[in-house]
Homo-oligomer: A and B are copies of this chain.
């Protein structure tokens, strides 16, 4: 019996008509002999509405009470979808997170999944065609209801798929993963197969279709994930193991993150505690730094890195404190720059990718301030005014 885990996000179940359409699709797959585990989010807008209600009642509502409130959203969706499925003759079992045995740990509102009651799901599938499970939620060791935080329903689906060794299909309002952001570049083409590592780089570098934690879980358990548009005939993207993809290009995609701050610090001293003093504060304030380059030469010490644009406010405080400790330090922090990246697991085996990329940018007269490379990606910091052209130049060079 073929069994898959399917996940439908908030916009896919945004109203009763959409819920009916999804039920029709599930019915047709069940009629063809499949059994399905379906993970759903709260109906679009519900979670925001509940959060606003909590905000009306307290300026700082306690997280355990808010988590308890938010989880009613998915519980309503599973009830509605189950009612329609049963009406179509599909034997359906609805389960909240705790009924599916989804045990969590960590804070009430950004829990991680510790365990899933795989046995319960498998036994239930003997008597039912479809299990509809509330995404985004679980229960912790203190018997308290928790939510999984950003991308939580995706995580629920992938974790269930991993635990039960089933493929996972994630349906959303985008029709797959593109070589470049299709909202910006009309020449972008859809990627039909991509490796876990490439997808993780794409996610981390700004093409955030799926949270990195989901891809990690899938990779660790070798579960293929499909990403596609809800109820679309269009072929989406399968994320899978390297070995399952037969032919590949050196570069699979390109990503742009224009919401960054590019920082360069210079201190005319060879030995300095600057990195230590700075990074200690970044850690305390939970600021993520990226693209770190450090140079020490006879003149002194230079450090470059990027941070996310929304950390700007806390960054000013830190620079003021560290500036007082290092009075000779020179600071250059610019929000007018962007990060442009190319990604491809083929880079591992193929030579000349870096030089081809450099030449393409040089040839187009695009200035870049910093470069970093990972095993399967290369990133450049460029002026924001040039970022779209940079992506186009790279897309042309690597036939994306």
Which A residues are closer than 8 A to B by beta carbons?
16, 19-20, 50, 53-54, 56-62, 64-66, 68-69, 71-72, 75-76, 78-80, 82-84, 86-87, 92, 94, 96, 98-99, 143-145
Q: Which of B16, B68, B84 contacts A78 (CB 8 A)?
A: B68
Is A72's CB under 8 angstroms from B76's CB? yes
Is B65's CB under 8 angstroms from A69's CB? no
Is A87's CB under 8 angstroms from B75's CB? no
Is A87's CB under 8 angstroms from B57's CB? yes
Q: Which of B50, B56, B60, B98 contacts A16 (CB 8 A)?
A: B56
Question: What would be 12 A-B contacts, judged by CB atoms less than 8 Å apart?
Answer: A54-B80, A54-B83, A58-B83, A65-B79, A65-B82, A65-B83, A65-B92, A68-B82, A68-B94, A69-B79, A72-B72, A99-B143
Chain A binding surface, main DSSP class:
helix
Is A61's CB under 8 angstroms from B87's CB? yes
Q: Which of B66, B78, B79, B80 contacts A83 (CB 8 A)?
A: B66
CA distance A368 to B54 in the complex (A): 58
CA distance A217 to B62 in the complex (A): 35
Is A57's CB under 8 angstroms from B69's CB? no
Given contacts A96-B145, A143-B99, contact A86 B58 (CB under 8 A): yes
Which residues of B are found within 8 Å of A76, using beta-carbon distances?
50, 69, 72
Is A94's CB under 8 angstroms from B65's CB? yes
Report A126 CB to chain B, min CB distance, Å.
14
CA distance A75 to B144 in the complex (A): 13
Report A311 CB to chain B, min CB distance, Å.
29
CA distance A20 to B92 in the complex (A): 40
Is A69's CB under 8 angstroms from B80's CB? yes
Whose C-beta in chain B lies nearest to the C-beta of A139?
B99
Report A383 CB to chain B, min CB distance, Å.
47
CA distance A54 to B79 in the complex (A): 8
Whose C-beta in chain B lies nearest to the C-beta of A54?
B83
